[in-house]
């Protein structure tokens, strides 16, 4: 047996609602699942295309988490379905600064690509990668 694909990445955030709203405004998301206790959302899985983030409210009491679940510790890459310029334009339209790139990269399938990097509201490093 082998690994087929990454299913999701979990992030711990300061404000679950604000983080989910950020990704929804930027990419449009579908809520896949949500953990609500006593009317309070503690975690939410959101899908964007073929990617999923599991967003955890900091201090939510869930035990099965990373060793040091702190906001801003994430560093992950989404494969972008358009050109790298369209990714830059999207970020610019939302007032989000590109902090690095475009930079040459090679994606998981060995395809030459370009990446740009930005920060989300918790200062996680987010990469958008598009094939050349």
Residue 85 included in any domain: yes
User: What's the domain range around 129?
Assistant: 74-132
CATH number at residue 102: 3.10.180.10
Last residue of a domain, one of 60, 90, 109: 60
Q: Look up residue 55 and give its two tokens.
A: 């967003």
17 carries an active-site annotation: no
Which residue is catalytic, options 17, 34, 38, 127? 127
Considering the domain architecture, whether residues 79 and 131 belong to the same structural domain is answered as yes
Residue 1 included in any domain: yes
Residue 108 included in any domain: yes
Q: Look up residue 58 and give its two tokens.
A: 């900091």
Q: CA–CA separation, 126 vs 91, rounded Å?
A: 11
Kindly report the pTM of this predicted structure.
0.91
Q: What is the dihedral sign for C-alpha 84, 85, 88, 93?
A: negative
Residue 66 included in any domain: no
pLDDT range class, residue 38, cuts 50, 70, 90: confident
Are 15 and 121 a contacting pair, CB within 8 Å? yes
- Per the DSSP assignment, residues forming a β-bridge with 103 are 115
Higher confidence at residue 63 or residue 100?
100
Considering the domain architecture, whether residues 45 and 83 belong to the same structural domain is answered as no
């Amino acid at each position: 047996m082998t690994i087929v694909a990454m299913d999701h990445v979990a992030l711990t955030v300061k404000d679950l609602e604000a983080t989910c709203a950020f990704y929804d405004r930027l990419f449009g998301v579908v809520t896949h699942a949500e953990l609500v206790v006593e009317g309070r959302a503690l975690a939410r899985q959101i899908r964007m295309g073929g990617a999923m983030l599991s967003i955890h409210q900091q201090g939510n009491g869930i035990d099965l988490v990373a060793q040091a679940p702190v906001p801003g510790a994430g560093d992950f890459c989404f494969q972008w379905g358009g050109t790298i310029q369209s990714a830059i334009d999207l970020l610019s339209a939302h007032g989000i600064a590109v902090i690095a790139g475009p930079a040459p990269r090679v994606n998981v399938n060995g395809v030459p690509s370009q990446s740009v990097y930005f920060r989300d509201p918790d200062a996680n490093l987010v990469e958008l990668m598009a094939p050349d």
